């Protein structure tokens, strides 16, 4: 298809002379240095000239673009639909897990509150120890689901329970996760 083409290559094929960085003479109207381009798009800036488009439109105009067979179009549609359904299922799974984490955090906060009010009662310290052990992992997992890179979240969900605990420990030791843009997001305290 057009994957091997770039606008500069196609402009030269169309008879345009590339004159400087991202400038070319227009093969349609003949004016000099009026076509600006990137690897994907181009545009002649001469008044009245309609020479503009992208890699595909130029390849098609030059007779270089091949028509995609109907069976391939259908295959691509099925693949896109499959990926869309998988994405929706993943989003639903993450949403349910985040809700479960929120419920668990509420339960732990209630247990903490009860333990503080019953200070000195038998088992108070065990309850508080359990609360303070579980809360950071819940917050680490919530941070991972809310801000982690998609590939990391998918890997986390596919991992064994033991590997998930190791991942959460790593998130806690680091103090957070990197988001899709590479920015560090801290686990809330």
Instruction: Specify whether 54 is located in the same domain as 139.
Output: no
Looking up tokens 């920015």, which residue turns up? 183
pLDDT value at residue 3: 56
Answer whether residue 68 is part of any domain.
Answer: no
Alpha-carbon distance of 187 to 148, in angstroms, equals 11
Answer whether residue 112 is part of any domain.
Answer: yes
Answer whether residue 42 is part of any domain.
Answer: yes
Instruction: Specify whether 124 is located in the same domain as 181.
Output: yes
What spatial distance separates the first Cα and last Cα of the chain, rounded to whole Å? Answer: 52
Answer whether residue 179 is part of any domain.
Answer: yes
pLDDT value at residue 11: 95
For 113, the domain range is 91-186
Answer whether residue 124 is part of any domain.
Answer: yes
For 145-164, write each residue's pLDDT tens digit. Answer: 999 888 888 899 999 999 99
Count: domains in the chain: 2
pLDDT value at residue 5: 83
Please answer whether residues 42 and 36 qualify as being in contact, where contact means their C-beta atoms are separated by less than 8 angstroms.
yes
Please answer whether residues 55 and 6 qualify as being in contact, where contact means their C-beta atoms are separated by less than 8 angstroms.
yes
pLDDT value at residue 121: 86
pTM value is: 0.58
Answer whether residue 37 is part of any domain.
Answer: yes
Q: Which residue pairs, CB below 8 angstroms and at least 24 apart, start in 9-12?
A: 10/55, 10/58, 10/59, 10/62, 10/64, 11/35, 11/37, 11/42, 11/58
Alpha-carbon distance of 58 to 10, in angstroms, equals 7
- Mean pLDDT by runs of 10 across the 189 residues of the chain is 76 93 94 94 95 91 80 88 92 93 96 90 91 95 91 91 95 92 89
Please answer whether residues 138 and 104 qualify as being in contact, where contact means their C-beta atoms are separated by less than 8 angstroms.
yes
Instruction: Specify whether 178 is located in the same domain as 98.
Output: yes
Instruction: Specify whether 54 is located in the same domain as 120.
Output: no
Instruction: Specify whether 51 is located in the same domain as 104.
Output: no
Strand duo 41-44 + 23-24: pairing:
unpaired
Instruction: Specify whether 14 is located in the same domain as 96.
Output: no
Looking up tokens 């391939």, which residue turns up? 72
């Amino acid at each position: 298809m057009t994957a091997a083409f770039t606008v500069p290559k196609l402009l030269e094929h169309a008879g345009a002379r590339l004159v400087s960085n991202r400038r070319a003479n227009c093969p349609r109207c003949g004016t000099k240095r009026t076509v600006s381009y990137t690897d994907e798009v181009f545009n002649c800036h001469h008044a009245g000239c309609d020479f503009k488009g992208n890699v595909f439109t130029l390849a098609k105009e030059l007779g270089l673009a091949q028509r995609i067979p109907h069976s391939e179009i259908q295959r691509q549609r099925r693949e896109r639909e499959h990926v869309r359904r998988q994405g929706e299922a993943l989003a639903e799974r993450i949403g349910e897990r985040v809700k479960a984490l929120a419920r668990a955090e509420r339960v732990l906060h209630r247990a903490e509150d009860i333990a503080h009010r019953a200070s000195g009662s038998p088992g108070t310290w065990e309850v508080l120890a359990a609360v303070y052990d579980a809360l950071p992992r819940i917050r680490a997992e919530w941070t991972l689901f809310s801000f982690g890179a998609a590939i990391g979240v998918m890997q986390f969900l596919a991992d064994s329970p033991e590997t998930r605990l190791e991942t959460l420990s790593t998130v806690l030791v680091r103090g957070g996760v990197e988001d899709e843009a590479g920015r560090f997001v801290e686990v809330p305290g």
